[in-house]
Chain A
Amino acid sequence: MDGSFLTLDDGLQRKVVEILALQAMREPSGLTPEMTLEGLGIDSLGMAEVIFAVEEAFDVQIPFNANDPQAAALDLSSVGSVCAAVARLVRDQRG
């Protein structure tokens, strides 16, 4: 597990997990940081919805291009890495 996961703001983490759980049609309590989005059945369309929900919830821009997922150097592969990426974007974009 990503060590930074435990130190993230609890509210932010809870909200991101809620968004992912809704998309995966599961209970938030059933998600763990190491679960992959692929394993949760979140496909490319689901990813577009997750990004939309995160941008709306936190008023941030996620520089994601489905044609070139690696371009933005964002790891959006697992529950934990999405939480970490959102935390970093919120910190960077809100100053």
Chain B
Amino acid sequence: MSGERGGARRVAITGAGTVNALALDVAGTMAALAEGRVAIGPLQFDEVERLSVRIGGQIHGWDAEARFSRQELSLYDRVVQFAIEAARQAVAQAGLALSEAEAMRAGVVLGTGGGGYNTVDDSYRALQAQGKNRVHPFTIPRLMHNAAAAHLSMRHGLKGPSFTVSTACASSNHAMGLALQMVRSGACDVVLTGGAEATLCFGGLKAWEGLRVMSPDGCRPFCASRNGMVQGEGAAVFVFEDWDRATARGADILAEVAGAAMSSDAGDIVLPDPDGAARAMRGALADGALNAGDIGYINAHGTATAANDRSEAQAIRSVFDTPPPVSSTKSMHGHLLGAAGAVELLAVISALRDGVIPPTAGWRETDPAVLGLDVVPNESRRAQVDAALSNAFAFGGMNACLALKRA
């Protein structure tokens, strides 16, 4: 493997937390990913019968009242609730105990596509469909895109930079790429980063219906029978920490964040360009001082739309002479939009730390458009993976790729 970046600080992941349709914690999610378990099923919420697509990776049995006080719930949209629980797990695992001075150099960078979408949906329904003349007084602090990042900073006393990145389906990869740069540059020593999304509501899905890209029956990335994306919800939050600080305090390091790159297609607002994706992947390799041959696994964007899968396969083929195994775990937890890259980083950690490459579930038959890639169909695979890439490509032609190494 190539050498370290000369002189720059290295970045360790010392904590991870998640809630998603597979499980409400990391251990359960990792087990489900290794099993190839699919958590996509019938959606349950008001007016779902008016939708043409009624499946998703929805979190069931989320008892908000049991988790949060009445005062907290008046301020926490579902997306904030997910982020808070994921961050609680991550901070607990990392064993963070920051002094007042260290808190000044600790921050939050989260991704979200829709922010407080349920609050928006409920509020418009109240005003317009139900004819009410007022909405809850905290509607704005509930729905704002930076609400989750703000609550993480407040709950954990993180007083350095905190902000939210919103680049649709690449939001959390952009967020984690920035978090890497902030720790590496010395702007911060610790950053809580990842993403949260909760757009599975009537208005959220209705808006997507018109694009005609959602599958009515399941998410089958890279399979000839694929017929579109399936949405999910949840959050994943990680503790990115200065490597030397982490090792000095004896922290368990889950993986190293070695590199990140972002690129723009500067082309179409919805159709992806393989060149932009390839530039992101090459950039992440270069930033991480890695060669293509070092990569043992690629967590694909893999939405199971015809446009993405074709373009991503071309991009991977253009970067790798001999592509490593590629899988899309969206087949199991759905597409978490602005939280997708964050939840999918768990699949990358599974490969690097545990030597378990999660599969592309729901796969049935070879698609020539996938150009012969090994998509790890249906069953996870044991392999020693020393380095991996994680892709996220968004509407708007905004791409972000992360490179990670085994700790």
B240-282: CB near A (< 8 Å → 1, else 0) gives 0000000000000000000000000000011100000000000
Assess whether A51 is in contact with B269, with CB atoms less than 8 Å apart: no
CA distance A71 to B306 in the complex (A): 13
CB of B331, distance to nearest CB on chain A (Å): 15
**Could you say which of A48, A67, A68 has the most chain B C-beta atoms within 10 Å of its C-beta?**
A67
Residue of A nearest to B303 (CB): A67
Q: Cβ of A5 < 8 Å from any Cβ of B?
A: no
Contact of B210 with A48 in the complex, beta carbons under 8 Å: yes
Given contacts A45-B269, A45-B270, A61-B52, contact A67 B211 (CB under 8 A): no
> Is the beta-carbon distance between A67 and B213 smaller than 8 angstroms?
yes
Which residues on B sit within 8 Å (CB–CB) of A65? Answer: 212-213, 215-216, 227-228
Cα A44 to Cα B305 with chains together (Å): 13
Q: Is the CB of B227 within 8 A of A44?
A: no
The residues in B between 303 and 350 inclusive whose CB is less than 8 angstroms from any CB of A are 304-307
A66→B215 contact, CB < 8 A: no
Which residues of A lie under 8 Å from residue B212 when comparing CB positions?
Answer: 47-48, 51, 64-66
Are A67 and B210 within 8 A (Cβ)? no
- From B268, which residue of chain A is reached at the shortest CB distance? A45
A48-B227 in contact given A61-B52, A66-B306, A67-B305 (Cβ < 8 Å): no
CB distance from B370 to the nearest CB of A (A): 14
A87 to chain B, nearest CB (A): 21
| Chain B interface residue bracket vs A | 10 to 19
B226 in the interface, Cβ–Cβ < 8 Å?
Answer: yes
Pick from B52, B211, B304: contact of A66, CB below 8 A: B211
In the complex, how many angstroms separate the beta carbon of B330 from the nearest chain A beta carbon? Answer: 14
By a CB distance below 8 angstroms, the chain B residues around A45 are 269-270
- Which residues from 38 to 71 on chain A have a C-beta closer than 8 Å to any C-beta of chain B? 44-45, 47-48, 51-52, 61, 64-68, 71
Q: Is the CB of A67 within 8 A of B52?
A: no
Verify B306–A67 contact, CB threshold 8 A. Answer: yes
Residue of A nearest to B309 (CB): A67
Task: Check A66 against B213 for contact (C-beta < 8 Å).
Answer: yes
In the bound complex, residues from chain A placing their C-beta under 8 Å from that of B305 are: 66-67
B197 to chain A, nearest CB (A): 22
Q: Which residue of A is nearest B211, CB measured?
A: A48
Contact, CB under 8 Å: B228 / A67 = yes
Enumerate chain A residues within 8 angstroms of B227, measured Cβ to Cβ. 65, 67-68, 71
15 contacts between A and B (CB under 8 A): A44-B307, A45-B270, A48-B210, A48-B211, A64-B212, A65-B212, A65-B213, A66-B211, A66-B212, A66-B228, A66-B306, A67-B215, A67-B304, A67-B305, A67-B307
A interface, CB within 8 angstroms of B: 44-45, 47-48, 51-52, 61, 64-68, 71
